[in-house]
């Protein structure tokens, strides 16, 4: 039976959203969670994403690759207040350039979150420069944008890096020339020393759990460096008994990893 998600407009407080409604299905729920900015609204008991003019298209693109059908017949267009209304709207040529950039990123299998961040960054840069042709843009334009827009509006260091990296990638790939962001002195993000537990403290925490399943999950998370989603996506077929390892597929960066299954098991039963 084909899996189907029904899309509907809604509004939670002041936020326009698109609801994703479907009968409970664990694998489908995990797929929905993987879409950028999709979150579970506890009070409304529904998964939803913020409404944008292009959100339905992005949902269709994402779920098409997962072979999941979307029913968007109930979606209606919403007139949203424009972000950065003081900046001009992109002209037709630059809109096409942004679309071309998105297609290049998708073909290189960038995550939807990164595609959204980078394409919005480049669009913002073009709007700030009043639709200036990419071929006429210089390093000085990037400096002015950084100083008079990002810094003046007190955006975070991480946002500053995302925007500049997106602009740099666009010019390197689609314009085939280097726009050098190194001329911009970007502040380093503050790094604090981590709180470190001793080996004995870690073992005490693990052995305090009486539920073996819960203990094993924590051991896998800690000893193998798994992320929550990687742990939840593990299946019996991923356990390779003859090698004593667990195969972790599609980790961060599309990497495949191995976990020492036997060692994790010995920790759980208290023999290590």
Helix 261-269, helix 199-207: angle, nearest 10: 70
Long-range contact set of residues 27-30: C-beta below 8 Å, sequence gap at least 24: 28/3, 28/68, 30/229, 30/232, 30/233
Q: Closest Cα to residue 131, out of 193, 88, 165?
A: 88
DSSP state of 65: H
Which residue in this structure is represented by tokens 């017949």? 73
Instruction: Determine the Cα–Cα distance for residues 243 and 253; give it in Å rounded to an integer.
Output: 24
DSSP state of 37: T
With beta carbons less than 8 A apart as the criterion, state whether 127 and 84 touch.
yes
Which residue in this structure is represented by tokens 């073992």? 203
CATH 1.10.150.130 corresponds to the domain 92-183: yes
Instruction: Determine the Cα–Cα distance for residues 179 and 167; give it in Å rounded to an integer.
Output: 8
pLDDT of amino acid 255: 47
Domain boundaries, the chain: 4-71, 92-183, 199-269
Q: Which two tokens stand for residue 102?
A: 């998105």
User: How is domain 4-71 classified at the architecture level of CATH?
Assistant: 3-Layer(aba) Sandwich (3.40)
In this structure, how many other beta carbons lie within 10 angstroms of the beta carbon of residue 113?
12
With beta carbons less than 8 A apart as the criterion, state whether 259 and 245 touch.
yes
- The pLDDT profile of the chain, 272 residues, written as one tens digit per residue, is 688 999 999 998 778 999 999 999 999 999 999 888 899 998 899 999 989 888 898 899 899 888 899 999 999 988 876 666 678 889 999 999 999 999 999 999 888 888 988 999 999 999 999 999 999 998 888 888 888 888 888 887 888 888 888 998 999 888 877 776 565 555 555 555 567 778 888 888 878 888 888 887 887 787 777 777 777 877 778 777 677 677 776 555 444 455 565 566 655 655 54
Residues 8-65 have pLDDT tens digits of: 999 987 789 999 999 999 999 999 998 888 999 988 999 999 898 888 988 998 998 8
With beta carbons less than 8 A apart as the criterion, state whether 66 and 33 touch.
no
Beta bridge partners of 96: none
Q: Tell if the pTM clears 0.85, that is, is over it.
A: no
Per-residue b or e along 200-224, where b marks 16 or more CB atoms closer than 10 Å to that residue's CB: eebeeebeeeeeeeebbbbbbeeeb
User: Does this chain's domain 92-183 share its CATH topology with 199-269?
Assistant: no
Q: Which CATH superfamily is domain 199-269 in?
A: Intergrase catalytic core (1.10.443.10)
Q: Which two tokens stand for residue 211?
A: 């539920």
With beta carbons less than 8 A apart as the criterion, state whether 240 and 246 touch.
yes
pLDDT of amino acid 191: 58
Alpha-carbon distance values, 186 to 17, 114, 143, 157 (Å): 35, 20, 11, 8
pLDDT of amino acid 253: 47
């Amino acid at each position: 039976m084909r899996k189907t998600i029904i899309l509907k407009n809604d509004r939670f407080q002041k936020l326009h959203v698109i609801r994703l409604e479907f009968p409970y299905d664990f694998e489908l729920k995990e797929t929905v969670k993987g879409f950028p900015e999709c979150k579970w609204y506890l009070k409304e008991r529904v998964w939803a994403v913020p409404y944008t003019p292009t959100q339905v298209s992005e949902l269709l693109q994402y779920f098409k690759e997962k072979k999941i059908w979307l029913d968007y017949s109930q979606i209606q267009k919403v007139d949203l207040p424009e972000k950065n209304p003081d900046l001009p709207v992109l002209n037709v040529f630059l809109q096409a350039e942004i679309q071309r950039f998105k297609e290049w990123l998708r073909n290189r299998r960038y995550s939807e979150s990164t595609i959204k961040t980078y394409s919005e960054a480049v669009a913002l840069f073009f709007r700030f420069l009043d639709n200036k042709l990419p071929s006429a843009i210089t390093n000085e334009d990037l400096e002015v944008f950084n100083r008079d827009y990002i810094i003046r509006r007190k955006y975070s260091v991480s946002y500053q890096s995302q925007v500049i990296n997106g602009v740099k990638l666009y010019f390197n790939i689609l314009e085939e020339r280097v726009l050098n962001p190194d001329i911009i002195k970007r502040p380093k993000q503050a790094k604090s020393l981590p709180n470190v537990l001793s080996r004995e403290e870690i073992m005490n925490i693990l052995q305090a759990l009486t539920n073996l399943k819960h203990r094993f999950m924590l051991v896998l998370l800690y000893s193998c460096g798994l992320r929550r989603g990687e742990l939840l996506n593990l299946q019996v077929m991923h356990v390779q008994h003859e090698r004593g390892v667990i195969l972790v597929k599609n980790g961060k960066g599309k990497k495949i990893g191995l976990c020492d299954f036997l060692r994790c098991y010995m920790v759980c039963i208290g023999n290590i």
